Amino acid sequence: MANTETPLTIQFHGAAGTVTGSCMELTLGQHRILIDCGLFQGSRSLEALNHGAFAFEVGKIDAVLLTHAHIDHCGLLPKLAKEGYRGPVWCTAPTADLLEYMLADAGRIQESDTARRNRRYDRAGEDMFEPLYTEADGLRVWRLAEPVGLGTWFEPAPGFRARLWNAGHILGSASVELEAGGVHLLFSGDIGPDNKAFHDDPAAPAGVDFLICEATYGDRTRPKLSIEQRRALLETEVKAALARGGNLVIPTFALERTQELLLDLARLADANRIPNVPIFVDSPLASQATKVFAAHAAELEDVEGSDIFRHPSIRYVEDVAESIRLNSVSGAIILAASGMCEGGRIRHHLEHNLHRRQSTILFVGFQARGSLGWVILDGAERVRISGKDINVRAAVRRIDSYSAHADRDELAAWICERQPVRGGLFLGHGESEAIEALRTLVQSETPRLAVVAPAIGESFALAPGASPKRIRTGRVDIAQLAGEDWQNDYADFAANLKHNLAHIRSEEGRRKALDEMRRVLADYEAARFQQKRRRRAA
**Average confidence (pLDDT) over 358-363:** 97
Q: Give Cα 67 to chain centroid, integer Å.
A: 14
% of the chain exceeding 70 in pLDDT: 94
- In CATH, 8-221+404-482 is 3.40.50.620: no
Residue 377 reports pLDDT greater than 60? yes
Tell me what pLDDT residue 306 has: 57
DSSP 127: P
Residue 279 reports pLDDT greater than 60? yes
Fold of the CATH domain 227-398:
Rossmann fold (3.40.50)
Tell me what pLDDT residue 122 has: 66
Residue 150 reports pLDDT greater than 60? yes
Tell me what pLDDT residue 195 has: 73
Who contacts 96 (Cβ-Cβ below 8 Å, separation ≥6)?
A: 142, 145, 146, 147, 172
Amino acid, res. 509: G
Tell me what pLDDT residue 481 has: 62
pLDDT digits (tens, 9 = 90+) for 283-301: 989 989 988 988 888 888 7
pLDDT digits (tens, 9 = 90+) for 421-471: 999 999 999 999 999 999 999 999 999 999 999 999 999 999 999 999 999
For Cα atoms 413, 368, 185, give the angle at the middle one, nearest 5 degrees: 40
Tell me what pLDDT residue 261 has: 94
Query: In the chain, which segments carry CATH 3.60.15.10?
Result: 8-221+404-482
Amino acid, res. 466: A
Q: Give Cα 525 to chain centroid, integer Å.
A: 37
Q: What SS3 class is residue 513? A: helix
Task: For 395-510, list the strands marked E by DSSP.
Answer: 395-398, 421-428, 451-452, 459-462, 469-472
Residue 406 reports pLDDT greater than 70? yes
Band (305; pLDDT cuts 50, 70, 90): low
**Average confidence (pLDDT) over 18-40:** 97
Q: What is the mean pLDDT of the chain?
A: 90
Tell me what pLDDT residue 35 has: 98
Higher pLDDT, 366 or 2: 366
Tell me what pLDDT residue 3 has: 45
Tell me what pLDDT residue 359 has: 97
Tell me what pLDDT residue 1 has: 44
**Average confidence (pLDDT) over 161-170:** 96
Of 255-264, 302-311, 317-326, the least confident? 302-311
Task: Specify the pTM.
Answer: 0.83
Query: In the chain, which segments carry CATH 3.40.50.10890?
Result: 227-398
Tell me what pLDDT residue 526 has: 81
Tell me what pLDDT residue 482 has: 59
Tell me what pLDDT residue 484 has: 56
**Average confidence (pLDDT) over 201-209:** 95
Who contacts 33 (Cβ-Cβ below 8 Å, separation ≥6)?
A: 25, 26, 61, 62, 63, 64, 65, 156, 157, 160
Residue 100 reports pLDDT greater than 90? yes
DSSP 154: B
Tell me what pLDDT residue 371 has: 86
% of the chain exceeding 90 in pLDDT: 67
Backbone angles phi, psi at 349, to 5 degrees: -75, -35
Task: For 50-148, list the strands marked E by DSSP.
Answer: 61-65, 89-91, 145-147
Sheet containing 469-472: order of strands: 145-147, 89-91, 61-65, 31-35, 23-28, 8-14, 459-462, 469-472
pLDDT digits (tens, 9 = 90+) for 478-535: 655 655 556 666 666 776 777 778 778 888 888 888 888 888 888 888 887 777 777 7
**Average confidence (pLDDT) over 315-324:** 91
Tell me what pLDDT residue 480 has: 59
Who contacts 186 (Cβ-Cβ below 8 Å, separation ≥6)?
A: 175, 176, 177, 178, 204, 205, 208, 210, 211, 212, 418
